[in-house]
């Protein structure tokens, strides 16, 4: 069994997490907690609003997708007990459950927590689940196993004060080699392992890329360091997140990602600010425990009876496309296709038993919504194949064009525009029936998202689609935007796909046929698909596909989305992270008070760095409350510091004998020791008392508290 040292820590925190969630749900239901504030809270506990009213999606946080057989069984049991019984594997190497009742969330937390699985900070504006190459630790091309670095990063930022009030989420990925199977280039932070030799000694480090992301405006991450020593990766991220927290946009949600901050500041400007923060972070050097994740042992070698494979050709194809020899010679990894990333509870339990019998107790969820098993003995492969086939889990073509990635789309997501799962099923049938040769092609893929936000990672696909629509009065036609040319080239070069043309979704199978037929006819000497695409050019494909965009002669069925038998009705909800709600200044003042209390509690526990950051946040929130009382918009923390000086200190309306900006930014100028933590906590407490006094005087004059639209106070 893989070593899981954090399980005891999760157990220690479990009781308080469950109790807190239970109390918050009760307060919300009694009307004692505003919906906007409860939403923020539950998101950071993995409870996300679903398209269907009255139910939620529950998301776990599983670093680099590592599960044991026991944990998979617990997930299956929980899903069957509290949901529709389906486990959905995501491109973030997580597992989601749908149709969860709010009142069941605490029970799910409790039962998963007992198995060492958390949902803390699985959603919301936090450091999200940290992904990695599913083959880390067994990859023949890797210089070393990145798994311990992922796990230590996960532990470091879980519950970290810096991650509790960010303007937007942070996504991190670790690839096992230069082939970049973890898609580091579209993450806020991406790490690729490197080794160099100094004085005859091996030194580990990472290539670090920053500021990447998918979505409506996809950006390839920039290289910050070709080699950053292993003890510097967590300190760099902590300092960089502090920069993002302070300078990042919060009001304009479509701009509130690190990729836009890096673009705005320029890479050099961003790295300069990161360096300025390093003096004040908790650890200027943090050595990762390389043994915190150890390889699970293989099952003992046993003599098994001979097995007759009924379809030798199917078995051979499975061996070719789904099995590879690990860097540990004589052991094999087995990759498992899972259409749409879905597995029902009973099948998941049976699968877990198969794992126990034939593989190491180390199941990895993949970024293409499947599983990888490891340490399978060669003579066990036919037995494992037969067992998987009995469960319909032996489909060949892992990571091929038939292995389509698709988010849930309009099945459950508020933001879904069109049905991605129905289309994925149809396209898989097209590939299997009409292009079976592509089942053996591992350098060509399809990814589908239900909207432009790219949960299905369509911009990282050779051929991708995202949900859209076309107006044809008085109707709206369900459509897909076709994108081509994304992914990672064989030499490791990252590519963001180009948008080509929008086509009615029922015509997408024909669009795929046109693309694949042209590729077969026009490509040169087994040419890699993206090379063929770039050689032909975007305009070529626009012309090739343009006839399908004609909406003048649509059939009745082409007004239907996949899986529907009625005219398409566009029903796009409000995303959980982008809604507009109302609040009052008084509630924001209470937020500042809570941060003052947290700073004091952390100080008493000797958590000096935590205390300091809570104190800083208390200063920012307190100043924000008074600025909002004057209708001053607050979209960045650095803006709050400047604006408070202008509107209160310079105007002589706040009793402070120095610049508030200089006072607050002491946070970045002192090492986080006990003396400064005490001093800074005192500063925050004193400032908060003055905020109370000034606000009291304002209320005496104005008579009532002030309503604020939340988009004005995101900072």
pLDDT band with cut points at 50, 70 and 90 for residue 576:
low
Q: Residue 49 and residue 298: Cα distance in Å, rounded?
A: 41
Set out the domains of the chain in order of their start, with CATH numbers: 1-128 (3.90.480), 138-294 (3.30.413.10), 312-390 (3.30.70.3340), 405-559 (3.30.413.10), 582-712 (1.20.120.330)
| 357/572: higher pLDDT | 357
Section 64-70 average pLDDT: 98
- Residue 581 above 60 pLDDT? no
Q: Residue 173 and residue 181: Cα distance in Å, rounded?
A: 10
- Residue 75 above 90 pLDDT? yes
- Residue 95 above 90 pLDDT? yes
Q: Residue 590 and residue 602: Cα distance in Å, rounded?
A: 18
Please tell me the predicted confidence (pLDDT) of residue 273: 97
| 715/235: higher pLDDT | 235
- Residue 5 above 70 pLDDT? no
Please tell me the least confidently modeled range out of 12-26, 330-344, 515-529, 561-575: 561-575
Section 573-599 average pLDDT: 73
pLDDT band with cut points at 50, 70 and 90 for residue 14:
confident
Per-residue tokens: 432: 């299997």
State the DSSP string of 109-175. Answer: HHHHHTTT-B-TTSSSSSB-PPEE-TTTTT-TT-SS--HHHHHHHHHHHTT-GGGSS-SS-B-EEE-
Is residue 587 within 8 Å of residue 37, measured between CB atoms?
yes
pLDDT band with cut points at 50, 70 and 90 for residue 2:
very low
Please tell me the predicted confidence (pLDDT) of residue 583: 56
Give residue-wise pLDDT tens across range 670-684.
Answer: 899 999 999 999 999
pLDDT band with cut points at 50, 70 and 90 for residue 218:
very high
- CA atoms in the 13 A half-sphere facing the CB of 715: 28
Please tell me the predicted confidence (pLDDT) of residue 566: 78
Total residue count of the chain as it appears in this document: 715
Please tell me the predicted confidence (pLDDT) of residue 572: 58
Give residue-wise pLDDT tens across range 126-174.
Answer: 999 999 999 999 999 999 999 999 999 999 999 999 988 888 899 999 9
Q: What is the mean pLDDT of the chain?
A: 92
- Residue 590 above 80 pLDDT? yes
Please tell me the predicted confidence (pLDDT) of residue 571: 67
- Residue 578 above 60 pLDDT? no
Question: What own/partner pairs with CB < 8 Å and gap ≥ 24 does 596-600 have?
Answer: 596/681, 596/684, 596/685, 596/688, 598/161, 599/680, 599/681, 599/684, 599/685, 600/681, 600/685
Is residue 211 within 8 Å of residue 188, measured between CB atoms?
yes
Please tell me the predicted confidence (pLDDT) of residue 495: 95
Give residue-wise pLDDT tens across range 628-660.
Answer: 999 998 889 999 999 999 999 999 999 999 999
Residue 671 CA, chain-centre distance (Å), reads: 31
Residue 339 CB coordination number (10 Å): 18
% residues pLDDT > 70 (the chain): 95
Comparing C-alpha atoms, which of 260, 262, 243 is closest to residue 251?
260
pLDDT band with cut points at 50, 70 and 90 for residue 390:
very high
Please tell me the predicted confidence (pLDDT) of residue 580: 36
Per-residue tokens: 715: 């900072």
pLDDT band with cut points at 50, 70 and 90 for residue 17:
confident
% residues pLDDT > 90 (the chain): 78
Give residue-wise pLDDT tens across range 483-516.
Answer: 999 999 998 899 999 999 999 999 999 999 999 9
């Amino acid at each position: 069994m893989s070593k899981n040292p954090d399980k005891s820590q999760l157990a220690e925190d479990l009781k308080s997490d469950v109790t807190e969630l239970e109390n918050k749900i009760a307060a919300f239901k009694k009307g004692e907690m505003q919906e906007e504030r409860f939403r923020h809270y539950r998101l950071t506990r993995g409870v996300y609003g679903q398209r269907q009213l009255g139910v939620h999606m529950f998301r776990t946080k599983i670093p680099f997708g590592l599960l044991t057989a026991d944990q998979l069984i617990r997930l299956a049991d929980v899903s069957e007990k509290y949901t529709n019984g389906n486990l959905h594997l995501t491109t973030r190497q997580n597992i989601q459950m749908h149709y969860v009742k709010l009142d069941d969330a605490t029970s799910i937390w409790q039962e998963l927590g007992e198995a060492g699985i958390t949902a803390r900070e699985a959603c919301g504006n936090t450091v999200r689940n940290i992904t990695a190459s599913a083959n880390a630790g067994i990859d023949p091309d890797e210089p070393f196993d990145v798994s311990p670095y992922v796990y230590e990063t996960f532990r470091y930022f879980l519950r970290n004060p810096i991650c509790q009030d960010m303007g937007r989420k942070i996504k991190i990925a670790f690839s096992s080699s230069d082939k970049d199977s973890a898609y580091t280039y579209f993450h806020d932070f991406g790490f690729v392992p490197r080794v160099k030799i100094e004085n005859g000694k091996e030194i580990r480090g990472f290539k670090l890329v920053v500021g990447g992301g998918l979505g409506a405006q996809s950006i390839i991450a920039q290289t910050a360091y070709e080699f950053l020593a292993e003890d510097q990766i967590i300190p760099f991220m902590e300092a960089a997140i502090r920069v993002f927290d302070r300078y990042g946009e919060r009001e304009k949600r479509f701009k509130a990602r690190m990729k836009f901050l890096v673009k705005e500041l320029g890479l050099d400007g961003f790295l300069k600010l990161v360096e300025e923060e390093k003096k004040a972070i908790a650890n200027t050097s943090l050595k990762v425990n390389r043994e915190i994740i150890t390889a699970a042992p293989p099952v003992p070698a046993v003599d098994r009876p001979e097995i007759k494979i009924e379809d030798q050709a199917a078995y051979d194809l499975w061996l070719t496309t789904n099995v590879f020899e690990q860097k540990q010679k004589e052991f094999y990894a087995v990759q498992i296709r899972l259409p749409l990333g879905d597995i029902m509870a009973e099948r998941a339990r049976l699968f877990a038993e198969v794992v126990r019998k034939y593989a190491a107790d180390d199941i990895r969820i993949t970024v293409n919504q499947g599983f990888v098993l490891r340490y399978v003995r060669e003579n066990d492969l036919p037995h494992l194949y037969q067992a998987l086939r009995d469960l319909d889990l032996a489909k060949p073509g892992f990571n091929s064009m038939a292995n389509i990635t698709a988010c849930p789309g309009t099945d459950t997501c508020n933001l879904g525009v069109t049905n991605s799962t129905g289309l994925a099923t149809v396209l898989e049938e097209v590939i299997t029936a009409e292009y079976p040769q592509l089942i053996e092609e591992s350098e060509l893929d399809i990814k589908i998202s239900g909207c432009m936000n790219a949960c299905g990672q369509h911009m990282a696909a050779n051929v991708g689609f995202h949900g859209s629509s076309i107006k044809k009065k008085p109707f709206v036609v369900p459509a897909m935007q076709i994108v081509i040319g994304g992914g990672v080239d064989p030499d490791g070069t990252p590519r963001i796909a180009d948008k080509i043309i929008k086509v009615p979704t029922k015509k997408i199978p024909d669009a795929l046929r046109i693309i694949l037929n042209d590729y077969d006819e026009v490509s040169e000497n087994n040419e890699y698909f993206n090379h063929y695409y770039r050689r032909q050019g975007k305009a070529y494909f626009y012309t090739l596909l343009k006839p399908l965009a004609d909406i003048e002669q649509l059939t009745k069925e082409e007004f239907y989305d996949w899986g529907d038998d009625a005219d398409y009705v566009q029903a796009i909800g409000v995303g959980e992270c982008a809604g507009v709600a109302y609040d009052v200044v008084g509630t924001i003042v209470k937020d500042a008070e809570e941060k003052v209390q947290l700073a004091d509690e952390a100080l008493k526990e000797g958590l000096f760095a935590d205390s300091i950051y809570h104190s800083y946040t208390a200063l920012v929130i307190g100043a924000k409350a008074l600025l909002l009382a004057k209708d001053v918009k607050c979209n960045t923390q650095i803006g709050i510091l400047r604006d408070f000086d202008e509107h209160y200190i310079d105007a002589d309306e706040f009793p402070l004998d120095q610049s508030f900006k200089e006072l607050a930014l002491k946070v970045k100028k002192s090492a986080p020791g006990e003396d400064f933590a005490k001093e800074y906590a005192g500063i925050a407490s004193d400032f908060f008392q003055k905020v109370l006094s000034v606000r009291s005087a304002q209320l005496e004059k104005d008579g009532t508290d002030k309503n604020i639209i939340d988009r004005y106070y995101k900072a």
